[in-house]
Copies of this chain bind each other. A is one copy, B any other.
Amino acid sequence: MKVITGGVCAAKGFKAYGVHCGIRKNRTKRDLALIVSDKRATAAAVYTTNLVKGAPLTVTKEHISDGYAQAVICNSGNANTCNANGIEIACQMSELVSKTTGVKAEDVVVASTGVIGQPLDITPIESGLPQLVNGLSYEGSGEAAEAIMTTDTIKKEVAVEFQIGGKVCKIGGIAKGSGMIHPNMATMLVFITTDTAISSKMLQKALSGDIQNTFNMLSIDGDTSTNDMVTVLANGLAENEEICDEGEDFNTFMKALNTVTVTLCRMIAGDGEGATKLLECKVSGAEDLNTAKTVAKSVVCSSLLKAAMFGADANWGRVLCAIGYSGADVDVNKIDVSFVSNKGEILVCKDGAGVEFSEEKAKEILLEKEIEIKVSLGEGEYCSTAWGCDLTYDYVKINGDYRT
């Protein structure tokens, strides 16, 4: 398996593009994205568990219920959530895509992201679609990735190439972060495409399994969004024998999918609102998987630890504190904690108590952009990883006045 370029268009038969249609005031910011498969594709999706759900999710869920889709439309700048006419607008979006591309309206995945509770005007979408469809190309992933960004500072694309039964297959994806992220079941907006032939059932199984260790282990700010969604479209143009069961091919697919999702997770975490650092908590030695996950997630969610990481302060007591209130049943006296980065590794806590360490060396390690918080529970064989970011002045700034 190797990482390749091309993002959401890396897989055979997927075109994409993004334009500025006028939902956002800033004319230099693209706000409408479209992804279209040359061929109707099997489709799978996972959605936020927030009871307050964006209208687009309801429409997408219905459209995907038969296991197929062919296009994805997504706007930024407005979440189309908590609006009286939300469903109507989301349906209109899929009908407009149908009219301009020929894809059936029931095969359109609809997504929106941005401010909650402001009616979404269909006019700019209607007037922008012809230009958007016109621009569709097999190299358009970058523009689509840009168009779904909200407070993201970098566009997020990834793709991998692998083989199934001698056939070259590809999976690629784009994602948008970067605030209101604390996934539970699914998260944020992630659109993944593949040319692998795989049944709807196995595609859903792959996605639902994968997110438990990827997007559901990611937190920016503890707020589970109303509009989270991850979708995968598989158009089969790689011409491998369709994956209809578990087995070697399915495992190969899962592994490739996982590379794509972990990469997107790390990109989202590293570009969290206001973030200056990617935090990765690697827990090992847990008695069971649930304990490992609970501990890892609690650590990356701690506001106090996140602020300490911003300040490059090796305040490991906050790691222990977060483990202690996580709800996991652990023996505090067996916990070891180290901080790791490109500059090396430093042990700061052994058997639940502090050890002497060089503050200077710790500072050097923590000043890096990617920090690993290594926690060993000393009780078993299970491990887990969670991703997050530091808490900074800019998070407050961005969210102190998001709407204006």
Q: Give the docked Cα–Cα distance between A353 and B55 (Å).
A: 12
In angstroms, how far is the closest chain B Cβ from the Cβ of A265? Answer: 19
Q: Contacting A308 at CB < 8 Å: which of B52, B53, B315, B402?
A: B402
Asked if B391 and A332 make an inter-chain contact with CB atoms under 8 angstroms apart, the answer reads no
- CB contacts (< 8 Å) of A318 on chain B: these are 116, 180, 223
Q: Contacting A51 at CB < 8 Å: which of B330, B353, B396, B404?
A: B330
| Cβ contacts A287-317/B at 8 Å (1 or 0 each) | 0000000000000011110011011010111
| Cβ contacts A193-212/B at 8 Å (1 or 0 each) | 00000000000000000000
Chain copies in complex:
2
- CB contacts (< 8 Å) of A49 on chain B: these are 325
Asked if A399 and B304 make an inter-chain contact with CB atoms under 8 angstroms apart, the answer reads yes
Please tell me if A25 contacts chain B, counting CB pairs below 8 Å: no
Please tell me if A403 contacts chain B, counting CB pairs below 8 Å: yes
Please tell me if A128 contacts chain B, counting CB pairs below 8 Å: no
Of residues 366 through 404 on chain A, the ones whose CB sits less than 8 Å from some CB of chain B are 391-393, 395-404
- CB contacts (< 8 Å) of A222 on chain B: these are 222, 301-303
Please tell me if A344 contacts chain B, counting CB pairs below 8 Å: no
**Interface 9-residue window, one of A13-21, A65-73, A78-86:** A78-86
Please tell me if A322 contacts chain B, counting CB pairs below 8 Å: yes
Please tell me if A320 contacts chain B, counting CB pairs below 8 Å: yes
Q: Give the docked Cα–Cα distance between A395 and B393 (Å).
A: 9
- CB contacts (< 8 Å) of A308 on chain B: these are 399-402
Of residues 203 through 248 on chain A, the ones whose CB sits less than 8 Å from some CB of chain B are 221-226
Q: Give the docked Cα–Cα distance between A53 and B323 (Å).
A: 11
Q: Give the docked Cα–Cα distance between A399 and B353 (Å).
A: 21
Query: How many chain-A residues does the 8 Å CB contact rule pick out?
Result: 65
Closest residue on chain B to residue A114 by CB atoms: B317
Please tell me if A262 contacts chain B, counting CB pairs below 8 Å: no
Please tell me if A50 contacts chain B, counting CB pairs below 8 Å: yes
Q: Give the docked Cα–Cα distance between A65 and B83 (Å).
A: 56
In angstroms, how far is the closest chain B Cβ from the Cβ of A261? Answer: 22
By secondary structure, the A interface counts as loop
Asked if A82 and B117 make an inter-chain contact with CB atoms under 8 angstroms apart, the answer reads no
Please tell me if A124 contacts chain B, counting CB pairs below 8 Å: no
Q: Contacting A117 at CB < 8 Å: which of B50, B83, B316, B404?
A: B316
- CB contacts (< 8 Å) of A130 on chain B: these are none
- The residue among A82, A323, A330, A391 with the most chain B CB atoms within 10 A of its own CB is A82
Asked if B82 and A325 make an inter-chain contact with CB atoms under 8 angstroms apart, the answer reads no
Please tell me if A324 contacts chain B, counting CB pairs below 8 Å: yes
Asked if A320 and B396 make an inter-chain contact with CB atoms under 8 angstroms apart, the answer reads no
In angstroms, how far is the closest chain B Cβ from the Cβ of A73? Answer: 22
In angstroms, how far is the closest chain B Cβ from the Cβ of A323? Answer: 7
Q: Contacting A82 at CB < 8 Å: which of B51, B52, B320?
A: B320
Asked if A400 and B311 make an inter-chain contact with CB atoms under 8 angstroms apart, the answer reads yes
Q: Contacting A313 at CB < 8 Å: which of B303, B320, B352, B402?
A: B402
Asked if A51 and B332 make an inter-chain contact with CB atoms under 8 angstroms apart, the answer reads yes
Q: Give the docked Cα–Cα distance between A397 and B391 (Å).
A: 10
Please tell me if A184 contacts chain B, counting CB pairs below 8 Å: yes
Q: Give the docked Cα–Cα distance between A133 and B365 (Å).
A: 46
Q: Give the docked Cα–Cα distance between A143 and B243 (Å).
A: 73
Could you list 7 A-B pairs, sorted by A, with CB under 8 Å?
A50-B325, A51-B330, A82-B317, A222-B302, A224-B321, A307-B398, A313-B403
